[in-house]
Amino acid sequence: MVDMNVNLAAANKIEDPAFAAPVKLSVSDLTIRYGGTPALSGVNLEVRQHEIFGIIGPPNAGKTSFLKTLNRMDTFNTNMSVEGEILFNGLNVQNLKNIYALRSRIGVVFPLPVGLPLTIYENVALSPRLRGIKRKSELDVIVERCLSRAALWDEVKDRLDSLGSLLSGGQQQRLTIARALSQEPDLLMLDEFSIAVDPVTTMRIEDVLKELKHDMTIILVTNLVQQARRLADRTAFFLEGECVEVGVTEDLFTGEVQDQRTRDYVEGKFG
């Protein structure tokens, strides 16, 4: 176990110039328990600025739990306990007094779109309003920009005042992405965003993500190995509550792997 952590740490520090970007998120010895039962243990990894960091693995690997610790969603669930250190922009998120500020810097997209029971416009304007922006003209600009970046503007620009929940599944998911973008996040976390989305929309969103990474860091949890391959610069493989391997994405498919299970998984031999 100790040896593997050393290996993982080495894998994290690839001396490839493409990944010489500053560290955005640094996780060490992270262990998550639900009522005493560990869901994820001994995770060490780093996420660099402006990269898409993929996390792949079968269900129950601890991928979603991992995301939940990053913006302190663990406070929603009294059953969940977190140990270890998570540094976001160098600050330990566990000790932050102002978790509202932390959360507002991190956009989250869930597997099933959660359209708030508001109009399309208000869904996207909510976060700016929470930040205290009141002027309609300013909000208009933000709403149009975020909807455009989420590739939804053209479809909804004529019915901004209708309810977000009346949109189709794929549109709702893009609406939640637009809402996340309206936070002007530093980090965007997507948890299996394409589960309820048709293939065409999925490809559109993937194109959007490739654009977005110039402005923010993205963590992409996915159960689709090929999606990680298409999008992620580096990828972590989670299995049964353990981070098995972190590496440059393409290496997991074709290069050297530290652990044979990683290769078996990406080749579809299990999972």
Nearest to 216 by CA among 180, 174, 255, 163: 180
Query: Minimum distance from CB of 101 to other proteins (Å)?
Result: 7
Q: Is 171 in the site for other proteins (CB under 8 A)?
A: no
Q: In Å, what is the CA distance from 142 to each residue of 8, 79, 123, 183, 214?
A: 41, 37, 12, 10, 18
Does 133 contact other proteins by CB under 8 A? no
Query: In sequence order, which residues have a C-beta less than 8 Å from that of residue 70 and are 6 or more positions away?
Result: 25, 86, 88, 93, 106, 187, 189, 219
| 65 scored as a contact of other proteins (CB under 8 A) | no
Q: Which residue has the tokens 């996780």?
A: 27
Q: Please, what's the largest Cα pairwise distance for the chain?
A: 58
**Both tokens assigned to 229:** 């391959």
CB-side neighbour CA atoms (13 Å) of 241: 9
Task: Based on the shown chain and the rule CB under 8 A, indicate whether residue 34 belongs to the binding site for other proteins.
Answer: no
Residue number with CB closer to other proteins (212 or 257): 212
How many residues form the binding site for other proteins (CB under 8 A)? 27
- Among 47, 73, 220, 244, contact with other proteins (rule: CB under 8 A): 73
71 binds other proteins (CB under 8 A): yes
Residue corresponding to tokens 């993937």: 206
From 41, 183, 194, 201, residue interacting with other proteins (rule: CB under 8 A): 183
Q: Which of 33, 105, 145, 230 binds other proteins (CB under 8 A)?
A: 105
Candidates 20-28, 29-37, 110-118, 256-264: pick the segment binding other proteins (CB under 8 A). Answer: 110-118
Does residue 80 touch other proteins according to CB under 8 A? Answer: no
Which residues of this chain interact with other proteins, rule CB under 8 A? 71, 73, 76, 78, 100-106, 108, 110, 114-118, 126-127, 129-130, 163, 165, 176, 179, 183
